[in-house]
Chain A
């Protein structure tokens, strides 16, 4: 467990988004959400040590035996940049209280996605770490599927009120039930690699996602709306999507609980 900073400990240089500039052999700290990312340059090498704090406000000292990752950057030393990113795996969004949509009904929910922090040199990524460590989950059945992060959300119907959390990206998702049966929204898979990040008045947003559900046996049709969401139409794009956002694509989006029923547990 990382130790709390003692009173007499000198305050480390604080780093923020953009180019990294630090004196040699003096560790700097980038702090966001639960992430405390320590960086230092020593003899021309870059040393990195990401630590996850239990609380967002907790001050974390550099661990006594830091688990440094060492990078040799050569002449690209000065190009090091800290940029915001989205998770490196798709998300399985699990509303705290499941939504139920009758046929033909459409609703919009807002999902809060924890930001990731990426260290880049030009287009090369050195490290991508979360501001909140999410558990992994499986989307599919026992034979085939996809590894995702599990994200429990309140699935608010109104955009976040109050001061924006700097480590959260708001993503508006519109779900339309195009089937002739009720849709139980218990788990929604969200392909975040197709989303860009936008900034408006210190709040971060992702593209609006429209999901058209066509029944359990069919893939859902998914639209990624180009540009910032309508709520923040003047927002500025600060990070382009990792995968080119096709206007429309199909994917399995809503999981069937029957696929992963615990019955298999007894088959020893």
Chain B
């Protein structure tokens, strides 16, 4: 049997040699260079920006570089890029229509990362659901609630909803609603409450505690006490102050009234008349 001879001289034209060299260069030098550039950018950005932003910057360079090398390789192999891109566009539109929700979530995710309303580790409230942000991913964010439940929320939902980032700022205010009886001396009550705040070592001296009157309630005068604590100490201070107010009010004889109704018969100042009935009382 006569095998066709492979004529290397015919294949190894100067043009072909140069093409092979370019392909080798793209694969052996271009790809490592892209990965190195992405790594440098990521570490450089992480010094100035959050890890999320640094990661995005690195990914953009990485994927952009790989795409560029891919296109250049296809060009070297003789593909017509115009026709290829046209086909890719048509396919892209078809896929886009078929996966609108996913695409919307991906784009929402990019906006969330760029806007950065919260970062991983923050505590947020979305639609009455509060939890710690575990991750911000391409399609959704993941939360861990305080009941230790795992919640996945699509990025699009986050972008459309009102989101409260509880741990955004380093200090938080504690609002304590205190009700006292009408008979109490309000100046004394004020002094006692301020003293309780001043004596708690974790209650911040500055911003200073503040007190104002909410109004005359049906059974009590309602007072609002505003105290500041760091976000780490917030819950502890809130619990402690609540206990201390109750204990101190008991010691000082300051009444925290429960709802009550006064019944009187015609005159504001006259007591309700009570009569003892004569004779044998039975029953």
Contact = CB atoms under 8 A, between A and B. Distances in A.
A137 interface: yes
A255 B207 CA distance: 12
A265 B210 contact: yes
Interface stretch (A6-14, A138-146, A192-200): A138-146
Contacts of A107: none
Contacts of B208: 260, 262
A260 B207 CA distance: 6
22 contacts: A92-B206, A133-B201, A134-B201, A135-B198, A135-B201, A135-B204, A135-B205, A136-B201, A136-B230, A137-B204, A137-B205, A138-B170, A138-B206, A147-B170, A255-B206, A260-B206, A260-B207, A262-B208, A262-B210, A264-B207, A265-B226, A268-B175
Interface in B180-230: 198, 200-208, 210, 212, 226, 228, 230
Contacts of B228: 138
Contacts of A143: 169
Contacts of A268: 175
B45 interface: no
Contacts, number: 52
Nearest to B175: A268
Top 4 nearest A-B pairs (CB, nearest first) are: A150-B205, A137-B205, A137-B206, A260-B207
B201 A262 contact: no
Given A136-B230, A138-B204, A138-B206, 19 more contacts: A92-B206, A134-B201, A135-B201, A135-B203, A135-B204, A136-B203, A137-B205, A137-B206, A138-B207, A138-B228, A138-B230, A142-B171, A145-B171, A150-B206, A187-B206, A260-B207, A262-B207, A264-B207, A268-B175
Nearest to B237: A136
Interface in A89-113: 92
Q: Tell me if A's interface is mostly helix, strand, loop or mixed.
A: mixed
Nearest to A135: B205
A144 B170 contact: yes
Interface in A60-93: 92
Contacts of B210: 262, 265
B118 to A, nearest CB: 15
Nearest to B233: A136
Interface string A115-159: 000000000000000000111111100111101001000000000
Contacts of A260: 206-208
Interface of A: 92, 133-139, 142-145, 147, 150, 187, 255, 260, 262, 264-265, 268
A230 B200 CA distance: 38
A139 B212 CA distance: 24
B170 A136 contact: no
Contacts of B230: 136, 138, 147
A264 B201 CA distance: 23
Nearest to A147: B230
Contacts of B202: 136
Most interface-central of B204, B208, B212, B226 (chain A CB within 10 A): B204
A143 B226 CA distance: 18
A144 B171 CA distance: 9
A38 B259 CA distance: 48
Contacts of B175: 268
B89 to A, nearest CB: 46
Nearest to A134: B201
A255 B205 CA distance: 14
Contacts of A150: 205-206
A145 B203 contact: no
A204 to B, nearest CB: 23
Contacts of B233: 136
A79 to B, nearest CB: 31
A139 B228 CA distance: 13
A91 to B, nearest CB: 12
B242 to A, nearest CB: 19
A138 B171 contact: yes
Interface string B162-177: 0000000111010100
Contacts of A255: 206
Nearest to A151: B205
B226 A142 contact: no
B170 A145 contact: yes
A147 B210 CA distance: 19
B169 A136 contact: no
Contacts of B173: 265
Contacts of A264: 207
Nearest to B208: A262
A103 B21 CA distance: 74
